[in-house]
Amino acid sequence: MSWQTFFANPIIQIVLIVAIAALLHHFSHKIIKAAVERSMKRRRLDNETSLDMKKRRDTVSGLFTALAALVIWIAATALILQALNFDLAQIAAGAGFLGIVIGLGAQATIRDILAGIFILMENQYRVGDIVSLSGGSIDVETTGVIEDITLRITKLRDIDGTLHIVRNGEASVITNRTFNYSSVVVDVGVAYDSDIDLVEKTMNDVGQKMLDEPGLAEVIKEPIHFFRVDHFADSAVIIKTLGKVEPAQQWAIAGEYRRRLLKEFKKKDIEIAFPQLVIHNAKQ
């Protein structure tokens, strides 16, 4: 049997097509990842941290890998049909009308894909970000960590471990809680007879001392500090504090700040207010 006869065998052709497509699929992921990483290093965004760049790289490379896989296997399928002596022109003509019908019914999918493209191009969120999706056809705000983004859907997991799958075209409001940095906002209610100057100094000292510990200093960009007397509540003066930390660290740092602040308030006899009721007896 000659080599020409050997490669003319449809089964051999199909095996070769599948093998080549599988190899292209395997190596395309590495090639795309390396190309995206090189491109992002050349065009790094302003104020973009290494973590932000990694999130953007994983998101972009994941989407392009999926597109490459789609193109590779569509081409492989067409070559397999040709090897089996199917007339691709007749198949394409017959699929034309069917494509129109499917296209009319797939408007929502097309909208999702277009939204996915804009999410990628505008860098709205990345894998690893903590976001809230709402508006549009989403009745209840969905919040979680982005685990995967495709052109059609976004997968995010909430604090309970529940995985939410949201179509990209469904959310009209996107709130990214971990883009470049996260803010720490802590409201504390103190008694009305508290020395506000002492309260301010204590709050600032606690925030500053957190920078003395290496494990905390690495994630704190701006120490938590007294911001303002926010408002007067029924039984307390509400003080607002602010700080900046690395993305997704705001909850852990806020919890540690409250723990330390409680201990310092006890040392300095600063009372954290609790609901009180004053009763006046009417004169007889």
Assess whether 166 and 188 both reside in one domain.
Answer: no
Q: How confident is the model at residue 283 (pLDDT cuts 50, 70, 90)?
A: low
Say if residue 3's pLDDT is above 80: no
Spatial distance between the Cα atoms of 234 and 257, rounded to a whole number of angstroms: 25
pLDDT band at 8 (very low <50, low <70, confident <90, very high): low
Of 105, 140, 167, the position where a domain reaches its end is 105
CATH number at residue 37: 1.10.287.1260
Question: In this structure, is residue 92 part of a structural domain?
Answer: yes
- One domain for residues 100 and 11: yes
Domain match, 149 and 199 both: no
Same-domain check for residues 101 and 190: no
Number of domains in the chain: 3
The Cα–Cα gap between 92 and 104 comes to 18
For 27-36, 56-65, 265-274, which range has the lowest pLDDT when averaged over its residues?
56-65
Residue 154 shares a structural domain with residue 67: no
Q: Determine the pLDDT at residue 257.
A: 95
pLDDT above 90: percentage of residues in the chain: 27
Half-sphere exposure of 272 (CA within 13 A, CB side): 12
Residue 104 pLDDT exceeds 90: no
* Euclidean distance between CA atoms 80 and 28, whole angstroms: 21
Please tell me whether residues 168 and 194 are part of one structural domain: no
- What confidence tens digit (pLDDT) does each residue in 20-31 have? 989 988 888 888
Which pLDDT value is given to residue 92? 58
**283 domain residue, yes or no:** no
Q: Do 99 and 134 belong to one domain?
A: no
**35 belongs to a structural domain:** yes
Q: Is residue 272, in this structure, part of any structural domain at all?
A: no
Q: Is the pLDDT of residue 111 over 80?
A: yes
* In-domain check, residue 26: yes
Residue 159 belongs to domain with CATH number: 2.30.30.60
74 and 136 together in one domain: no
pLDDT of residue 103: 58
Q: Does 276 reside within a domain? A: no
Ranked by mean pLDDT, which of 2-16, 62-76, 87-101, 241-255 comes out on top?
241-255
Distance CA 279, CA 284 (A): 15
- Claim to verify: residue 14 and residue 50 sit in the same structural domain: yes
Same domain, 237 and 188: yes
Has residue 97 been placed in a domain? Answer: yes
Least confident of 60-64, 130-134, 264-268: 60-64
CATH number at residue 246: 3.30.70.100
* 116-135 residues labelled b (16+ CB within 10 A) or e (exposed): beebbeebbbbbbbbbbbbe
**What is the arithmetic mean of pLDDT over 45-72?**
74
Asked which of 91-100, 169-178, 207-216 is least confident by mean pLDDT, the reply is 91-100
Say whether pLDDT at 254 is over 90.
Answer: yes
Say whether both 53 and 91 belong to one domain.
yes
Q: Give the confidence band of 49 by pLDDT, cuts at 50, 70, 90.
A: low
Instruction: Look at residue 43 in the predicted model and tell me its pLDDT.
Output: 66
Token pair of 206 as six digits: 């606690």
pLDDT at 112 over 60: yes
Q: Give the domain extent around 37.
A: 3-105
The predicted model gives 180-197 an average pLDDT of 90
Residue 266 is predicted with a pLDDT of 93
Residues 8 and 93 in one domain: yes
Inform me whether the pLDDT recorded for 197 exceeds 90: yes
SS3 at position 280:
coil
Instruction: Determine, yes or no, domain membership for 235.
Output: yes
Q: Is the pLDDT of residue 255 over 90?
A: yes
Percent of the chain having pLDDT more than 70? 83
